Structure 1
């Protein structure tokens, strides 16, 4: 009898401990890469790049195969990530504007801090310069500058690569906050694989990665062929276009294109190494089963497609990004899943808040991605795209609608339209906007564009 009572007591204690573990709020780590296109990941089918640790995260979590950003430029996208809002609502559209106090209070780090989380930020903040919100965070490891250098000088006077510096700060944060009674939310922003701006721009990689991919064949993109650049309208097809200007020193010959792609991949492999070290540390600290990890790119990047380098415009290379939600705290029913839902950068903030059990402000325009996976919400069918920074000739302004199969883009200063059937033409080689047979589809997308443009304000 006594032995039976002991067994029952132990079982009850185990059950209570398990229930407490389930109800305890998870730690959350959000990892952001800079200029990381959707297919520069092994898990997304890239046969060249080596990203074993990110691929493993994808295998243990949710891999979103149809993730996009609502504006493909760093400061706007980062503001959207933090606020859960389109640019038309948060209003940050240049490199000097920062969050006003009221808007900052409704970003996910501020809301989680109010809810009792310890919050940290590491890397490139990318919004404003002078008034970056370092005092909001319990841990801040970011210089107040628009674009950090790759080669940094550490406290010992030695040069350290930005990616390695981010890795050291992650390790320091985890050592400091892992044993804290409060859960934490750490936001990490790598500079990689963004180019180092200059004349010419460069891709400084760590010494240990310089031989990686050296003898690996790099295929040329289909739309790198000259006829695709030549088919673009005259207002766009100018050497003053930033995408073309930066194409010249990095991608204008097959040799340059292969070298640049290799260096771009090397920087991403450097990030992958940091992710692997972080996951191992979480396990050593025994908090891996109580942590959510979200990985995303702030925008995509053209590596010669359409005769361009960079992002900005509405092409798939520019607006599609990798997205993974993983970690031991992810519900078991959601692990090992490949999702086709149309996921956006504005969904990150509400998804993070949902994991934390914190209320989502009504002015957030995204939604909890896991609720869609659990069939609690319907997936979106389309979204509004907007990029209005600078304007012609440097960066022609473009707005449009992206649906699950069609894409409509309007260069607003010129009245020039593009219509692509991405289901049949994934490389966007044929502009259907002037084809009489596609008039009904064009009209439907025009109408939807007008509707969404009003909705996002």
Structure 2
């Protein structure tokens, strides 16, 4: 490398800085200056790496960058987790993560469908900005370069991706990653053949790839970021849809009777307007073979829970391996669902719409590198899927691009970043009658829903009415809050672009 006179001057400043208490060096950075004019600021390691015979190694006083594992489940509603108060589901390993970390009790997605939510997670952006609104649109090269994996790669992290990618399966960014284990298919099957020709469940296959990645990359030389995406507990599409479960979990929840959802009463489905209350509505079409009788509802709910318990087992094995490799003390685990799932609420099956069962998800951030006072934290602050990218980047000490719309959640909890009071919800895939397009606003206490093709509104006081049983629009409520949210809806719709 040729060293210019300016850089030579800067290297002198670096050497002086390293030996001076009143140095230019702050938090691992050094400013290369002429007189009093600051010309450039770069990391010390970058400048030292330019010296002959020097390598870019971590200095003794630099904090060790954490390994980061991001785990995503598919269609995982917020209350299908023991840590969130569910006394019937068995998720001991996920609950243990929550006990050792931060449990976000009010975590949501900004669009409840796989492809959009995953694009929002990677980019930290609303759908209105990243523009991925279907299953055959991918990131442009400039947009991909600003996703959290690409930015971590530039910062020296080793990258892994395992499981369902979910964004344009024909043009996956596999070359970006050091370890890639994702089939080129929109929806993976549950029963699949491994390289030896033996049948294996998708959840177990993901578990084996996690183990391979950790043994290969947990070497302490470079930090790693592993993104894991389960298919579970997503249904296997078909007519009818099914929930294929591993053999060893098929007896789970035998003898358990799950309570019927409050809004499973037919009167809630019958209260919808004609454009929504149709058998062409995909959520109703899938409800019929899976949830339309008490017996079907019990079996579907059990299989849904069984798939989640299968994920929990893999997470437990992963945590044990981190301890075995002696890297658990420097690894942060983030666990989230890509969207929720209705199990008969409002006479529906699936996600898409703006109800709590559809848009609210589990979210846990756990690990020894977290600030000590945040371990065992339970918070009601609103967290979103668009917050994952900036949170991961902040944990890794990487600058967050200005294009990111989410927030660093650790910064929010440490009161260094302002918390949000509300957020914009949008789902415009397909449209009616299959999936009527919906937008709205969610606050800590209220929810405003607008079906934009028909200008039909719903308004709920979610703090008093958590199951969303009473549409206050129908009761002709004259609430000032409704007027405020109608205006807020217009403002947010513009701001998310």
Same fold (TM over 0.5): yes
- 1:404 CA drift (Å): 0.5
Gaps of 5+ in 2: 1-58
- The residue aligned with 1:191 is 231
Aligned mates of 1:275, 1:416 — CA distance in 2:
42
Q: Encode CA deviations 1:191-217: one digit per residue, 9 max, x unaligned.
A: 000000001100000000000001111
The answer to which structure, 1 or 2, has the higher relative contact order (CA under 8 A, 6+ apart) is 1
Structure 2 residue 257 is matched with structure 1 residue 229 = no
- The residue aligned with 1:65 is 105
Q: Encode CA deviations 1:332-385: one digit per residue, 9 max, x unaligned.
A: 111000011100000000000000000000000001001111111221000000
Alignment partner of 1:158 out of 198, 209, 224: 198
- The residue aligned with 1:113 is 153
- Give the alignment of 1:277-288 within 5 angstroms: 277-288=317-328
- The residue aligned with 1:90 is 130
Q: Larger Rg: 1 or 2? A: 2
Q: SS at 2:287's partner residue?
A: helix
- The residue aligned with 1:269 is 309
Q: SS at 1:23's partner residue?
A: coil
- The residue aligned with 2:51 is none
Tell me, yes or no, if the aligned pair for 1:301 and 1:310 is still in contact at 8 Å. yes
- The residue aligned with 1:130 is 170
- 1:436 CA drift (Å): 3.8
Q: Encode CA deviations 1:42-77: one digit per residue, 9 max, x unaligned.
A: 000001100000000000000000000000000000
- Give the alignment of 1:48-447 within 5 angstroms: 48-447=88-487
Moved more, 374-383 or 341-350: 374-383
Tell me, yes or no, if the aligned pair for 1:433 and 1:439 is still in contact at 8 Å. no
Tell me, yes or no, if the aligned pair for 1:97 and 1:127 is still in contact at 8 Å. yes
Residues 21, 156 of structure 1: CA spacing in aligned structure 2 closer, same or farther, 3 A cutoff? farther
Residues 305, 143 of structure 1: CA spacing in aligned structure 2 closer, same or farther, 3 A cutoff? same
Aligned residue pair count: 439
Q: Flag the structure with higher helix content.
A: 1
- The residue aligned with 1:25 is 65
| RMSD of aligned residue pairs (Cα, Å) | 1.0
Moved more, 324-333 or 342-351: 324-333
Aligned mates of 1:76, 1:327 — CA distance in 2:
28
- The residue aligned with 1:5 is none
Aligned mates of 1:78, 1:20 — CA distance in 2:
37
